[in-house]
Amino acid sequence: MSAPPAAVTVRERVALAPYTTLGVGGAARWFVEITDEATLRAAVAWARERRVPLRILGGGSNVVVADAGVDALVVKIGLRGIATREVRGAVEVTAAAGEPWDDFVAFAVAHDWAGLECLSGIPGLVGATPMQNVGAYGQEVSDTVVAVRALDTTSAEAVTLTPAQCGFAYRDSAFKSREPGRYVVLAVTYRLRPGGAPMLGYADVARDVAARGMTAPTHSDVRTSVLAIRRTKSMVLIPGDPNRRSCGSFFTNPIVTPETAQQVAERAGDGGVPRWPQADGGVKLSAAWLIERAGFRRGQREGAVGLSTAHALAIVAHDAARACDVLAFARRLQESVAERFGVRLALEPSVWE
């Protein structure tokens, strides 16, 4: 006999602001926290039977919830567990979707496994990393992901997806843009290199390591540098930091054609526009640079919302801020950059309306 379906306890009208790093927004019409796959399946079935939209909430560090809340079942992911296995001179580490990301990075670094050290300090959970193709300081999770186990909500079956099926791109994936909402990430497997050389390809990290007099830095040394750099930009969640209520980078760095990059330089009257050629022929520009050259300054406020005092890419929600204030300020930044440089900035966080 098959096992009976798991019971699911659904709560109503649950405030979502406390579950997000921005701390704004309304309530979920229905809400459930899950710690095992059986309960997740039951929650998905509950939503399907009632024709209720489904939203998946991880660490809440990359979402803006509308003030009116969301008329959906919000599922808070709490799946935990880490497993490892050696394979062909590497180690494959599988982490459940609800594992805190930075704790997982610290675990890898403590074992001297290369591949994640530059992704230290990023808030959120493991399950979000393939969705966003999270990256920083020269590393992206797509460099190490070998499999993503997910629940396909169209079939209610668990599937294992290869990196090619994940459709990774710059801060993007098939989970985010090609088939949003279809898959609920259950676990992610990363292939790491025991004793491999740490990543020092990003200038800020290399400088910080050198400034500490290290000629052969360990993964732990690089993690220490990355965390220190992120702290100077208020990109680590620290109690008491006036910039802590944010989503981190609110915009992705735009990738444009070489012609557009040249036009930006001409409009700026500055040949020193930060730019990074991409393998596909595009050119990545600095969104923070564009925002500041469009007339905004770090720490600038409009009412209860403003830019971080430490980084022009972070929008901060201060006391009494609402989601509509955050989004209105973001639109003003987008419009100003578009008018000044002809480049449209894309939001990095998801907006739940």
Token representation of residue 289: 């640079």
The rounded distance, in Å, linking the Cα atoms of 253 and 274 is 11
φ, ψ of residue 329 in degrees (nearest 5): -65, -40
CA distances from 167 to 6, 131, 145, 243 (A): 32, 10, 12, 33
What residues pair up with 93 in beta bridges, in sequence order?
84, 190
CA distances from 80 to 96, 159, 200, 225 (A): 5, 18, 31, 28
The rounded distance, in Å, linking the Cα atoms of 168 and 112 is 26
177 classed as catalytic: no
One-letter identity of residue 48: R
The rounded distance, in Å, linking the Cα atoms of 276 and 95 is 32
225 classed as catalytic: no
Task: Write the burial class of residue 264 (CB in 10 Å: 0-12 exposed, 13-18 middle, 19+ buried).
Answer: buried
Token representation of residue 26: 């309304």
Contact 253, 286 (CB under 8 A): yes
The rounded distance, in Å, linking the Cα atoms of 166 and 130 is 8
- DSSP single-letter state for residue 4: P
Task: Write the burial class of residue 331 (CB in 10 Å: 0-12 exposed, 13-18 middle, 19+ buried).
Answer: exposed
Of 245, 249, 298, 308, the active-site residue reads 249
Of 191, 348, 350, 353, the active-site residue reads 348
88 classed as catalytic: no
* CA-wise closest residue to 39 among 78, 72, 71: 78
CB proximity list for 136: less than 8 A, separation 6 or greater = 118, 119, 122, 226
Of 41, 55, 149, 171, the active-site residue reads 171
The rounded distance, in Å, linking the Cα atoms of 313 and 179 is 27
Active-site annotation, residues: 171, 249, 348
